[in-house]
Homo-oligomer: A and B are copies of this chain.
Amino acid sequence: MEEASVIYGKNVTLGQHVSLEPGVRIGDNVTIGNFVVVKSGTQIGDNVQIGDLCVLGKVPFHNKKVALKPSTELNPLVIGDHVKIGSEVVIYRGVTLEYDVLVGDMASIRERVSVGESSIIGRNVIVEPRTVIGRRVTIQTSSYITSDMLIEDQVFIGPCCSTSNDKYMGLGNYKHQGPVIKKHARIGNNATLLPGVIIGEHAVVGAGAVITKDVPEGQTFVGNPGRLLARGGSSIE
């Protein structure tokens, strides 16, 4: 079909051995590295840079324990203008990356995730399905963002943070709920967030804290289990 061929903008630079599947659309001033796989239908905006050895627009698969919606429901991957994607990155079909998003090397983003303008998905960060990430969010290296999370604008998540969405750890077919992190909240490195906790606006979670209940707006929680930081003790932040 004519509409299924690859559409190139002006000034597109491709590395060696780039696999472009039918229906891919590439904007102007785009650079794509070597050994990159761009799956069918992926939409790449203007002024986008993509590193080497990436897979973009991947369709999920499953085994008997993980039932996923049919991939035919998924929209194509949409990569906005001025997005930069590192090397060895895997991004699924059904993802939207808004204007000026940065995705670091070795990061991976599953289906049905949206990432807002000028946000940073750090190196080796993994984002699970159906999570919504706002604008100017920073998620630092090696953090793990579970499914069904809401991360509002200008949230800061330090390196190696861990989140979860499954209160009973694989026991059944109940609803899973990831944490909610509200505007301007900040999470220290290697913090642990339990399923469904809400981190309030401008709240702070200390490095290494284990957050088992909601953190109110503007408060700082530290320790295991996470508790309100006593006044005067700021070094743990």
Q: Is A153 among interface residues, defined by CB-CB distance under 8 A?
A: no
Please give, as numbers and ranges, the residues of chain B lying within 8 Å of A159 by CB-CB distance.
144, 146, 162-164
Q: Mark A48-83, 1 if CB is under 8 A from B, else 0.
A: 010111010010011111100000000000000010
Residues of B within 8 A of A86 (CB): 90
Asked whether A164 lies within 8 Å of B66 as measured between CB atoms, the reply is no
Q: Which residues of B contact A141 (CB under 8 A)?
A: 126, 128, 144
Whether B120 lies near A63 (C-beta < 8 A) is yes
Pairwise interchain contact A66-B120, C-beta atoms closer than 8 A: yes
Per the bound structure, the CA–CA distance linking A207 and B144 in Å amounts to 14
CA distance A146 to B207 in the complex (A): 14
A residues at B contact (CB < 8 Å): 15-17, 19, 33-35, 37, 49, 51-53, 55, 58, 61-66, 82, 84, 86-88, 90, 100-102, 105-106, 108, 118, 120, 123-124, 126, 128, 136, 138, 141-142, 144, 146, 156, 158-160, 162-164, 166-171, 186-190, 192, 194, 204, 206-210, 212-213, 222-225, 235-237
Interface CB pairs A-B, < 8 A, 22: A16-B17, A16-B19, A35-B35, A63-B100, A65-B118, A65-B120, A66-B120, A87-B90, A106-B108, A124-B124, A141-B144, A142-B142, A142-B144, A144-B159, A146-B159, A159-B164, A160-B192, A163-B189, A169-B188, A194-B236, A208-B225, A223-B225
